[in-house]
């Protein structure tokens, strides 16, 4: 399961230019012809394949930027390159969702068929003397049994399938798809996607996270974490009624979620619904197995409700969640 964001606010529960599971390689070419010919190309400067490759996938995801603008964000002069963590963080800063696909040929090809170029890390050297390099996979030719890359100074580099797999394997099969938050990758893993949305939320990209959670809640409406995250991002945006609706949906699916009880109570309190908020908090405190941190958050919320002397407005919804 993706980790839930820590409780919101105090008490609201919120390499260079040179692992994952091992790759399953099957003999023979895959009978597919696919190429994303419209994907932009940015020839790299010395040691700066990271900014060039990142600009390529960001452009493809609708972000107007280039290697020059990205270099200060991701290039580490002392390392003569960029680390994967810097690239992922830069994707978030540009309001896009970074998603790591499964590390196998079929997964790469499925992303291409869905229109998503894939940023990959390769080791063009050997284990003892690595030469790290970022490239962007934009196609695969089954007839030639080769991948098509935007790589270095070559716009359309054909790399034999076995050679590509060796260089990719030596780099730990690291790959990244960059998505607008309204789009899903091919064959998305719900936990992995929701974790990527949670990481957007935890790094302050609240609007982008909200859009990603909304996408997840439409695609996986039975996933409580999608509704919980959506509620958190609505709350942080001051959209308390929408937050309430999302938390209620999360609790309908997962009634023992004490954190969602706490956050629903805070959303109700923010709308002037202290009586309803109190009922929700008390229900949460009666749950079994509540962790100390969440119990403390519930008690803090209860104290804040106790300092509120106003009666609920007529438009306040019920506090008790009907099961």
DSSP state letters, 169-195? HTTTT-EEEEE-TT---SS--HHHHHH
Q: Which of 42-51, 271-280, 297-306 has the lowest mean pLDDT?
A: 42-51
Nearest to 87 by CA among 69, 74, 101: 74
pLDDT for the residue 45: 80
Give backbone dihedrals phi and psi of 25, rounded to 5 degrees, phi first.
-105, 130
Instruction: Kindly report the average pLDDT of the chain as a whole number.
Output: 89
Question: Domain 193-306 classified CATH 1.10.10.60?
Answer: no
Residue identified by tokens 């969702």 is 97
pLDDT at position 204 over 50: yes
pLDDT for the residue 30: 72
pLDDT for the residue 320: 58
Enclosing H/E stretch for 235: helix 224-236
Domain range list for the chain: 33-179, 193-306
31 falls in which pLDDT band (50, 70, 90)? confident
In the CATH hierarchy, which fold is given to the domain comprising 33-179? Cathepsin B; Chain A (3.90.70)
- Domains 33-179 and 193-306 in one fold: no
Q: Which of 26-40, 41-55, 85-99, 261-275 has the lowest mean pLDDT?
A: 26-40
Mean pLDDT of 72-84: 80
What does the pLDDT look like over 207-247, one tens digit per residue? 999 999 999 999 999 999 999 999 999 999 999 999 999 99
From CA 88, how far away is CA 66, in angstroms rounded?
16
pLDDT at position 97 over 90: yes
């Amino acid at each position: 399961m993706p980790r839930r964001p820590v409780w919101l606010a105090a008490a609201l529960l919120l390499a260079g230019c040179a692992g994952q599971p091992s790759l399953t390689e099957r003999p023979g070419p895959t009978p597919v012809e696919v190429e994303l010919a419209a994907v932009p190309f940015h020839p790299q400067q010395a040691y700066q394949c990271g900014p060039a490759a990142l600009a390529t996938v960001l452009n493809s995801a609708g972000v107007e930027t280039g290697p020059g603008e990205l270099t200060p964000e991701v290039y580490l002069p002392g390392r003569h390159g960029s680390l994967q963590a810097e690239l992922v963080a830069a994707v978030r800063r540009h309001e896009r969702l970074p998603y790591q696909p499964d590390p196998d040929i079929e997964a790469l090809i499925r992303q291409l068929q869905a229109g998503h170029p894939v940023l990959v890390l390769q080791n063009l050297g050997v284990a003892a003397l690595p030469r790290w390099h970022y490239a962007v996979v934009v196609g695969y030719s089954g007839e030639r049994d080769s991948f098509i890359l935007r790589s270095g100074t070559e716009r359309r580099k054909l790399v034999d399938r076995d050679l590509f797999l060796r260089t990719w394997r030596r780099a730990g099969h690291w790959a990244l798809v960059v998505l607008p938050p309204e789009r899903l990758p091919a064959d998305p893993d719900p936990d992995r996607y929701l974790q990527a949305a949670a990481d957007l939320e935890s790094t302050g990209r609240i609007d982008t996270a909200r859009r990603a959670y909304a996408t997840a809640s439409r695609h996986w409406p039975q996933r409580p974490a999608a509704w919980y995250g959506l509620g958190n991002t609505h709350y942080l945006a001051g959209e308390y009624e929408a937050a309430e609706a999302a938390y209620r949906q999360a609790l309908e699916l997962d009634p023992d979620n004490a954190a969602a009880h706490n956050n629903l109570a805070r959303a109700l309190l923010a709308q002037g619904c202290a009586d309803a908020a109190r009922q929700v908090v008390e229900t949460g405190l009666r749950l079994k197995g509540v962790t100390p941190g969440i119990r403390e958050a519930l008690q803090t919320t209860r104290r804040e409700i106790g300092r509120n002397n106003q009666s609920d407005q007529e438009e306040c919804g019920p506090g008790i969640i009907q099961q």
